[in-house]
Amino acid sequence: MLPMMFALSVFIVNLIVMTGVFYVAGVIVVGKKRALLSDAFVISLLGTILGTICTLFIPLIGAIVSFIVWLLLIRHYYETGWLGALAVAILAVIIYVVVLFILAFFLAIPWLLFRGLTPLLWAVMV
């Protein structure tokens, strides 16, 4: 039961983050009129589900098929061409990596304070 709850919570957090990433990337590339938050949510939801299915059933070619599925979803929902969809995808990856590093930095600071500095404090006090 616990692993399933963990997987569900990871899926929901990933869906929220990817929705924001696709929305920002879509607004930058195709504009505010064509990039709606609801479209970004559908792209994130369908892309995650279909990409996971493609990768599970076709391990090697699944990544390529998954990438094409993502591009098709972006192209359809943001009403853009192939180059626009590719630009949204590349910008979304860049934004996702930046968000990932920011979250890792802010989540690592408490770990360093409570885990990494504790032995140093004990060594100074003794």
pLDDT in tens, 92-121: 999 988 888 887 777 776 665 555 555 544
User: Rounded distance, CA 23 to CA 37, Å?
Assistant: 6
- Domain residue ranges of the chain, discontinuous segments joined by +: 2-125
Highest mean pLDDT among 8-12, 18-22, 49-53: 18-22
Q: What is the pLDDT at residue 113?
A: 56
pLDDT of residue 122: 54
Who's near 37: CB < 8 A, 6+ residues apart? 19, 23
Residue 61 is predicted with a pLDDT of 87
